[in-house]
Structure formats: structure tokens, C-alpha cells
Amino acid sequence: MKDQAREWLCPARSVAVLTGAGISAESGIPTFRGAGGLWREYRAEDLATPQAFARDPKLVWEWYDWRRGVIAQAQPNAAHRALVQLERRAPEFTLITQNVDGLHDRAGSARVLKIHGDIWILRCSRCGREHQDCRASIPDLPPRCACGGIERPGVVWFGEALPPDVWSCAEHAASRADVFLVIGTSAVVYPAARLVDIAKVRGAKVIEINIAETAASAIADISLRGAAAEILPELLA
Ligand code: BJW
Ligand code: ZN
């Protein structure tokens, strides 16, 4: 299976990649679902919503502040680095990530479509002003904008639209891809998971890399079972 995947990947003119939390798991960042996916007694679905933020911004910020601390300590792993190599090698390459951790940037990927936003961006919920804030810990939660409004993390919560320009680039890349890699995502969150279907119906070979079976496994042409940081470098060797 790995040999077949290599045979598709090597000559591919256009490669698109969708990554999820599993690619950062070996950097020590917990995934959302499955073992270790809980924070205190909350699931992502309880906290990653505009309603949760409106109800208790401090609680939601405590979750994000904890995650920012974990991410700040983490380093990109061999899977992030392999995607940098692939970007340099493939004639046409698009990296689409659901992750907000910024580890693809830190690994050296030149262009990353962050369809669920960026945990290091804060946005005022009153005036909309956005700025980067890379402090691992924010002293007073929730942070406030100069206008007095409460700032929120610059991420996409359930029920919110994905950034339209970023999303349309992602759809375009999925529909042009000869090979579509789906790495470390449970593929249960939409519309991200739809990219797999788009790629498939437009003729891409879909290669999944995941430690477990997922919602994308049935549609994938090849499912490689194992850790992304082990399998991805092997595919490019
Ligand atoms: C390894 C590994 C290793 C571990 N190596 N692998 C259609 C059907 C049903 C529902 C919907 C639908 N369309 C829309 C919805 C509603 C909703 C949705 O999808 N709900 C489902 C959960 C049922 N979607 C939305 O609300 C989206 N918005 C929307 O549709 O808006 C419509 C609209 C249009 C116009 C105007 C207004 C509205 C928004 C979704 C936003 C998701 N946001 C989050 C939080 C982001 C910020 C943050 O990080 O806090 O995104 S939720 C969370 O899930 C996060 C992730 O990016 C996302 C996906 O998770 P991911 O990455 O797949 O992680 P896990 O944990 O699920 O999986 C990890 C995987 O790794 C596992 O498979 C492991 O096995 C594997 N793994 N270690 C390889 N070492
Ligand atoms: Zn403001």
C-alpha cells in the first residue's frame, strides 16, 4: 500500500493535503476527539461555539489560554517537516489545515490555508479589530480591545462560516488535485470533510494517513494506518 501511495505521489502534478489535529499529536498537542480530547469536563463541541463564549467568555478563554500554553511549548514534528519537503517538490501544492496551532508555519510551510483560523490572532467582538498576540499566557481573561469590547480567539467556531476566500482556495485545490492526502483528521467536521469528497469526485487519488479508521476511510483509495510522523517521511523517502 505504501509503495502504491508513493507511485501516485511521486509523479503527481497537483497535490493537495488536508491536515487535522492528529498531525500535531506527536508534538504533544491533544486532539479534540478520542482519548485525551477532554478539557476539564468539557468537549470541544461545548466550548467552541459563539453561544458558549457569549455565556461565559472567561471559561472559553481559559480553555484557549491553556491550549496556547501547550502549543507554545510544542515543536513541529517529522510530519510537519515532510509536508515542507512535499511543498518544495510538487509542481502544484496546497496545504489546507483545520489546525489553529501554527505548527505548519513554524515547520517552514510557505503557504497554509487555515480554514479554522489561527489561535494566535485575537479579534474584538465589538469593533472587529484583529491583531496577533503570541503570549503563551494572557494575564487578564477575557482580554479587552482598546474600544472596550471583549476580544475572542481568531478561530472558527461551530455554526460560524469559514473565511470565504480561504475556503474557496481550499475547494479549488481539492478539485484540481491529482493526489489528495488526508492526514490526522476524524473527518467529521463539515465543511472541511467535504474537501475529501470534492477531491474524490474530481478524480484525485485519496490517500489517508491516520492511526485509526475514520469517516474518510471508506472513500480513501488507500488508508495507511499509523502515526503521521512515521508514515509521511516514509512516503517521501
Ligand atoms: C493521528 C495521530 C497520529 C491521532 N497520526 N493520526 C454537515 C453535516 C453535519 C453537520 C454539519 C454539516 N455542515 C455543517 C455542520 C455543523 C458543524 C459540524 O461539522 N458539526 C459536526 C461535528 C457534526 N460545522 C460547522 O458548524 C462549521 N460551520 C458551518 O458549517 O457554518 C455554516 C455557515 C455558513 C454561512 C454562515 C454561517 C454559518 C464550522 C466548524 C468549525 C470547527 N471548529 C473547530 C474549533 C476550531 C478552533 C479551535 O481549535 O478551538 O475546529 S471544532 C474542532 O474540530 C476543530 C478542528 O479543526 C475540527 C476537526 O477536528 P480534527 O482535526 O479532525 O480532530 P479530531 O480530534 O476529531 O481527530 C483527530 C484524528 O487524528 C483522529 O482521527 C485520530 O485517530 C487521529 N490521530 N493521533 C495520525 N499520531
Ligand atoms: Zn474593539
pLDDT of residue 39: 83
**58-76 pLDDT, tens per residue?**
999 999 999 999 999 999 9
Is-catalytic flag, 131? no
Taking the C-alpha atoms of residue 133 and residue 80, their distance in angstroms, rounded to an integer, is 23
Same domain, 110 and 60: no
Residue from 158, 181, 209, 224 to probe ligand 1 pocket by mutation (most atoms less than 8 Å from CB): 158
Residue 25 CB–ligand 1 contact under 6 Å: yes
Strand partners, 183: 19, 209
Cβ contact 31:189 at 8 Å? no
For residue 51, is pLDDT > 90? yes
Strand partners, 38: none
In a domain, 91, yes or no: yes
What domain range is 147 assigned to? 44-73+124-155
Residue from 59, 68, 112, 190 to probe ligand 1 pocket by mutation (most atoms less than 8 Å from CB): 190
Determine the distance from the C-alpha atom of residue 59 to the mean position of all C-alpha atoms in its chain, rounded to a whole number: 23
Ligand nearest to the CA of 125: 2
Same domain, 220 and 105: yes
pLDDT of residue 175: 98
Cβ contact 95:180 at 8 Å? no
**90-143 pLDDT, tens per residue?**
999 999 999 999 999 999 999 999 999 999 999 999 999 999 999 999 999 999
The number of folded domains in the chain is 2
Taking the C-alpha atoms of residue 158 and residue 156, their distance in angstroms, rounded to an integer, is 7
The per-residue pLDDT of the chain, averaged, comes to 96
| Set of cell numbers at residue 223 | 488508508
What b/e readout covers 190-228, taking b as 16+ CB neighbours within 10 angstroms?
Answer: eebbebbebbbeeebbbbbbbbeebebbebbbebbeebb
Ligand nearest to the CA of 124: 2
In a domain, 36, yes or no: no
Strand partners, 18: 96, 182
Residue 59 CB–ligand 1 contact under 6 Å: no
Cβ contact 180:204 at 8 Å? yes
Same domain, 110 and 19: yes
Strand partners, 16: 94, 180
Residue 180 CB–ligand 1 contact under 6 Å: no
What letter does residue 217 receive in the DSSP assignment? T
What is the CATH number for 169?
3.40.50.1220
H or E element, residue 106: helix 103-107
